[in-house]
Amino acid sequence: MLRIVDARTGRLVEIPPVHRHLLSICVHLLAGDGGIGLVGLRPLLVGDVLARTAELHGLQPRAFLTLPDLSHEQARALDRAMSALGVHPPATVGVHHPNGTPCAAADVHVHAYGTAAQDAVGGVRIDVGQVGPAASRDRDVPGRAHLLAPGLLDAVVAPEGTDPLVVRMVMLGHAYRAAVEVTGTALEEARRTLGDWRQLVADWAQEPSRPIPADVLRHTHAALADDLGVPAVLDTLVTLATRADVPAGAKFETFAFLDRVLGLDLAREVGHQHRAAP
C-alpha cells in the first residue's frame, strides 16, 4: 500500500484511491521571468521519485506535466535539465490548463512552492517545499558557475563541472514538504558521499551476489510507502555501507535495487576498475 499526505486535509491517503494498478501523476510547474528555476524543477523530481516508488510497489505510473507557455529555448533547457537531474520524461507535456484532460483526472497533483490552490481539481495534492540558492556567503566563493542552462537552475551556484545528480541527492535528503537550501557545504557533502558510494558499489560488484537483507528491505519499503520517506532510505544506506554483518554482494544488490528509486546512478563505476591481484 502506497500512502501520501494530501495537502488539502493534512492526512495520509492511499494512492491510487481504488484497487487498480495504474497511478496517474500530474506535475504543475511555475515559471518566472528567467524561466524555470529549482523551485519549478523540484516538483519534477518529487513526481519522478513518486513514479519510481510506485513501480517498486507494483503499480504502473503515468506522469503528465503542465507548464507555462515557454519559449522554444526555455523548453529545450527544461528538457536538458530534466535529463541532467535523472528525471524520466513525462508521458504528456502541455500548457497549463488544470481542468483539462488528462490532468483533471489525475490521482496525484504535484505543485511547486507558491502555486495557488485548485480546489476544483480532484485527486491528492502534494505541495513541494521551497528550494533556495546557496547562502550569500557561498555565492562569493571563487570558481563557482551556474550548474546548468542560464535562467533555468538560476538560483543554484555550484563548482564548475559538478555532477547534476549531486543536486538531486541534496534535494532527496529532505522530506519533499521541507524547505531546502542548496549551500556549497551541502553540495560538497553530497558530492563526496555520492563518489564514495559509487566506488563502493563498484568494489562490491566484484564479489558474489547475495540477497538483500530482509530487515533492510522491509524498512526501506515501509519508509517509501509512508509519504515518500526518501531521507530514511538514504540514512539506511549510510548505515548499511559500514555494517560488518552484511556481505559485500548483499550491499551491492541493496544499493542497486534502491537506486531504482533514488536515480543517483550508483553503479556508474562498475566495470571501470580491475580486481586487485591476490
- Give CA separation, 273 vs 24, 165, 191, 204, 221, in Å: 41, 22, 20, 12, 32
Measured N-to-C along each axis, helices 248-262 and 184-204 cross at an angle, to the nearest 10 degrees, of 130
pTM: 0.86
> At 31, is the pLDDT very low, low, confident or very high (cuts 50, 70, 90)?
low
Per residue in 173-221, pLDDT tens?
Answer: 999 999 998 888 898 999 999 999 999 999 999 999 999 999 999 999 9
Q: In terms of pLDDT, which residue wins out, 127 or 95?
A: 127
Dist. CA 55–CA 23, nearest whole Å: 9
Q: What is the pLDDT of residue 26?
A: 92
Q: What is the pLDDT of residue 117?
A: 60
Per residue in 235-249, pLDDT tens?
Answer: 999 999 999 999 999
User: 219 in the Ramachandran plot: left (φ > 0), alpha (ψ -120 to 50) or beta?
Assistant: alpha
Per residue in 141-176, pLDDT tens?
Answer: 322 323 333 344 443 434 556 788 999 999 999 999
Query: 6 in helix, strand or coil?
Result: strand
Q: Once rounded to an integer, what is the mean pLDDT over residues 125-131?
A: 91
Contact 64, 92 (CB under 8 A): yes
Q: What is the pLDDT of residue 38?
A: 73
With pLDDT > 90 as the criterion, what percentage of the chain qualifies? 55
Dist. CA 270–CA 278, nearest whole Å: 20
Q: What is the pLDDT of residue 15?
A: 95
- What's the chain's average pLDDT? 83
Query: 83 in helix, strand or coil?
Result: helix
Q: Once rounded to an integer, what is the mean pLDDT over residues 109-124?
A: 75
